[in-house]
Chains A and B, each alone.
Chain A
Amino acid sequence: MKKILAILLAGMMTATALAGCGDGQTSGDSSNPDSSGTGDAPGLAELDAEGFVDAAELGDETGATIKVWAPDAAVNLTQKMCDAFAEHYADKNISISVVAQGEKDAATQAQSDVDAAADVFGFASDQLDNLINSGVIAECAYTDNVIAMNTEESVKAGTVNDKLYYYPETTNGYFLVYDKSVVSDEKAQKFEDVLAACKDAGKRFIMDAGDGYYSCIFTFTGGVTIDGYADEEQTVQNFVDYDEDTAVATLQAFAQLIKDYKGTFTSLSVDKIASGFADGSCGAGIDGIWDIESDSEKLGENFGATKLPTINVNGEDKAMISMYGYKALGVKSTTKYPLTSAALALYLTGENCQRQRAEQIQWGPTNKTVTEEDVVKNSAALSASVEQSKNSVAQVHITSTFWDPMANLGNQIIADEWDPSNADKTKELLTATIKNIKDE
């Protein structure tokens, strides 16, 4: 009998614990999927000098408690900004807590339990589709403002089916970093020169060619770029029409250079770049914006950064095309305080806050005004980031099948036994890779 009682008690506990939950989640009898209320865009909102919207935009939401997810490096700064926000609307009695959560996992975490997710969360743009598919992210409530303030590319990356979802915050990608005592600013413009300079100095060039995030440079530069999905279900990657000969020639050019500079070109994870700068074994590398602080700390005055160099394919210098993403804020679709959260997200990604982040934690802005300011121009890394984002494919609408085959392509090309002069083999690899990405 004990057993039965125990089970029933447990069941009962469950029942009471869930009673509240269940009520909240079963929606009314409305089976109409159309949106109710005013669905049409309310247009541009007035912002004051500091980037706050009028208090009326917050509606009758008072006493809001809002959770914000920010990556560790930005937690303190974000908390300060949020405090300023709460103070500005003092009579609304808003309390905001900023919780550390890396952008990489944000979407997964938010999906696994929407209730526990933050009301305003920072995430990386490649997770946008998942967030939309699972309905975790709400549409942007200040579309016109975001479009007016931010660069075209950053807005485009957040737009799906003509609807803007996120509030762009910063650029997120990789570019060339180098030791100025090894590679001069001038030589950093050409891949051949970079490798030659490293070889002369007996130092390594580091790039993580075994990761699809970086190795896609090899195909993108040859014109094999991606453009959204090929199907409604978002499972098949769509490639733009490309000239196969150019693509193969570019792959061969990369493979040849890598072979010529065997020992100089090394494929290692990007964290080895900072280590390499520290112990003097690395001359240059392709590194992400998140490592800039440690890179520049190790090199000091000699730290250089610029957009990715060009590569010579059949006599023509081609700019390397990379994958470039954005970090953005999203508002949780089920938040209790949609107006306050939207206003907060707009404020946090506004001109004022983007400038503060650029100055204090070296985040490259997406705001048009800040992009043109001295804070970017005086920083090699920030301007490299802005420049590279122009030579890039946006890191959005990418199928999960993209990364592994692309990593494999990188691994094959840099392998010792790979023969760069074999065009047929290269073509075969390219075809197999694309086939595998498309899961055919």
Chain B
Amino acid sequence: MIKSYKLRRHLANGFIYLLLAVLGIIWISPFVYLVMHSFRAEGVTTVAYLIPHEWTIQNYIDLFTGAGGTAQLNFPRWFMNTFVVAIFSCIISTISVLMVSYAFSRLRFKARKKFMNVGMILGMFPGFMTMIAIYYLLKAMGLTQTLVALVICYSCGAGLGFQISKGFFDTIPRALDEAATIDGATKNQIFWRIILPMSKPIVVYTVLTSFIGPWTDFILAKIIMLDSRDNYTVAIGLQLMQDQQFKNTYYKQFLAGSVVVAVPISILFLILQRYYVEGVTGGAVKG
């Protein structure tokens, strides 16, 4: 009986290993394909086989030197732009999200529920509908076609994403706050000295999600930047390479660019994965 139980478990585990391996391959293979073809020397756009015949790093060199075509593309600059925008918007976003979620989780005040309800549904209006308005508001402030405008756009709505981190704060026992209050601490001190140090996972989670935003947006950034190529981000830059007039010249550089964008984010994700899981779990249980 015991033996057959063990056997069954081994069989079951073996089956699971097999399934996981197959699924893993399915999930990873598009990226393997992407990386392989970013090193492809021959061909123009796609080719009729899976593994490149000749390998080269020319695509990456061209990407960073702007060679290999007549277009006015400046990938290194776009990369720096995106990096700067991502850093600033992630700082502002993180601070706003934490402030809002702490207020909703720990403080009790009039209209708290109403605020939360409004906050929840605001994000449900199709976002790009409001872009014309955002553009002209930024223009009124003289900020269009600048990186500052992007930072504002990416971080302004951050406060609305409070659900997960509010859920996380909700799981921190209230007894801690109460003890601190008896010791004479203000709410401000409780926030900075007690809650924040315990919230590493959710801080990391917020930082990660808001850092990625600027790398992936390809609609709003284009509307704000118009013809100012020097201030493009990688997303619109890569999108530009897919344009009809460039596709034949820049397709392989597009692949290389995609890899260059994906690698740092992936590494960041892999390193901080543990916190991400903890943060999102804590938040979701209570969210």
Q: Measuring CB to CB, which residues of chain A are less than 8 angstroms from any residue of chain B?
A: 13-14, 17-18, 21, 69, 71-73, 75-76, 99-102, 104, 109, 112-113, 115-116, 118, 270-272, 274-275, 278-279, 281, 288, 290-291, 294, 298
Contacts and interface: CB of A to CB of B under 8 A. Distances in A.
Contact of A100 (B48, B139, B227, B249): B227
B38 interface: no
A69 B72 CA distance: 13
Would you list the 6 A-B pairs with minimal beta carbon distance, nearest first? Answer: A72-B71, A275-B44, A294-B248, A100-B72, A271-B247, A274-B44
A102 to B, nearest CB: 6
Contact of B43 (A13, A100, A279): A279
B47 interface: yes
B72 A275 contact: no
A290 B244 contact: yes
Contact of B243 (A69, A104, A112, A288): A104
A288 B226 CA distance: 26
B135 interface: yes
Contacts of B42: 278-279
Given A17-B142, A109-B226, A116-B145, A279 B48 contact: yes
A115 B136 CA distance: 11
Nearest to A72: B71
17 contacts: A17-B141, A69-B227, A73-B70, A100-B71, A101-B227, A113-B135, A113-B144, A116-B145, A118-B227, A270-B244, A271-B44, A271-B247, A275-B45, A275-B47, A279-B42, A279-B43, A288-B244
Contacts of A21: 140
B245 interface: yes
Interface secondary structure of B, over-half rule = loop
Given A73-B71, A100-B71, A271-B248, A112 B226 contact: yes
B7 to A, nearest CB: 51
B140 A272 contact: no
Interface secondary structure of A, over-half rule = helix
B46 interface: yes
Q: What is the interface residue range for chain B against chain A? A: 20 to 34
B132 interface: yes
Contact of A281 (B45, B48, B71, B227): B48
Interface of B: 42-48, 70-72, 132, 135, 139-142, 144-145, 223, 226-227, 229, 243-249, 251
**A13, A14, A17, A271: residue with the most chain B Cβ atoms closer than 10 Å:** A271
Given A102-B245, A271-B248, A298-B44, A13 B141 contact: yes
A279 B47 contact: yes
A118 B141 CA distance: 21
Nearest to A118: B227
A278 B140 contact: no
B140 A18 contact: yes
A17 B132 CA distance: 18
A274 B248 contact: yes
Contact of B135 (A13, A18, A112): A112
A55 B226 CA distance: 33
Nearest to A14: B140
A76 B243 CA distance: 20
Given A104-B243, A104-B245, 15 more contacts: A17-B141, A71-B245, A72-B245, A75-B72, A101-B227, A102-B243, A109-B227, A271-B45, A272-B45, A274-B45, A275-B45, A278-B43, A278-B44, A290-B245, A294-B249
A115 B138 CA distance: 14
Contact of A112 (B223, B229, B245): B223
A270 B243 CA distance: 12
B55 to A, nearest CB: 16
A14 B71 CA distance: 37
Contacts of B71: 72-73, 100
Nearest to B131: A112
Contacts of B139: 113, 115
B53 to A, nearest CB: 10
Contact of A275 (B43, B140, B144, B145): B43
B47 to A, nearest CB: 6
A272 B140 CA distance: 45
Contacts of B248: 271, 274, 291, 294
Contacts of A116: 144-145, 226-227
A350 B33 CA distance: 49
A112 B132 contact: yes
Nearest to B229: A100
A96 B135 CA distance: 27
B85 to A, nearest CB: 20
A73 B245 contact: yes
**B47, B141, B227, B249: residue with the most chain A Cβ atoms closer than 10 Å:** B227
Contacts of A73: 70-71, 245
Contacts of A279: 42-43, 47-48
A75 B71 CA distance: 9
B244 to A, nearest CB: 7
A72 B246 contact: yes
Contacts of A13: 141
A42 to B, nearest CB: 32
Contacts of A298: 44
